[in-house]
């Protein structure tokens, strides 16, 4: 479980309403994506600026050598074991001086959302702010048995 030890500090709950998760600030502005119990099998990599989004990658690619490739010695060849697909977006792909902002439970950005001429909305698939796992929580991973039922009452790998 070396990988889990490395990733655990940066993992967050899909929805920010987990009772065992790290407590959110009382002053945090909660933004709901509208899909708290429907986590899609996607990965999102987003570079947030102070008031806007610089770029976003929505992809099937895990953070792994299989998905991103691995150099094969000194030959400068790259081996990609698993082909993935993704979409990279940034505001100026639409028009110069555009600003991209996150949208929640809607596809359209607020008119006052950005400082550029055009405001581009990016539908954020999860709630903000993100909620870290609590001190004693263990993120769900398929390679471990789980003795407590999931929200549907099912057990995983426990006998």
Q: Write out the binding residues for substrate.
A: 43
Which residues are known catalytic residues?
A: 41
Q: Number of helices and strands (H, E) in the chain?
A: 2, 9
Q: Cβ contacts of residue 156 below 8 Å, gap of 6+? A: 140, 142, 145, 146, 150
- Write out the two tokens for 78: 């790259």
Annotated binding site: 43
Q: How many CA atoms lie within 13 A of 38 on its CB side?
A: 5
Question: 145 - beta bridge partners?
Answer: none
């Amino acid at each position: 479980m070396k990988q889990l030890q490395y990733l655990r500090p940066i993992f967050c709950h899909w929805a920010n309403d987990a009772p065992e998760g790290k407590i959110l600030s009382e002053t945090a502005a909660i933004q709901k994506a509208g899909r708290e119990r429907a986590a899609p099998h996607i990965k999102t990599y987003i570079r947030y600026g102070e008031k806007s989004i610089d770029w976003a990658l929505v992809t099937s690619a895990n953070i792994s050598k299989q998905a991103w490739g691995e150099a094969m010695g000194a030959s400068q060849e790259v081996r990609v074991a698993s082909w993935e697909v993704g979409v990279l977006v940034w505001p100026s792909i639409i028009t110069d001086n555009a600003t991209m902002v996150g949208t929640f439970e809607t596809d359209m950005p607020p008119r006052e959302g950005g400082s550029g001429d055009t405001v581009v909305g990016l539908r954020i698939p999860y709630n903000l702010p993100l909620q870290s796992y609590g001190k004693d929580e263990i993120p769900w991973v398929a390679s471990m048995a789980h003795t407590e039922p999931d929200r549907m009452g099912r057990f995983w790998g426990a006998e």
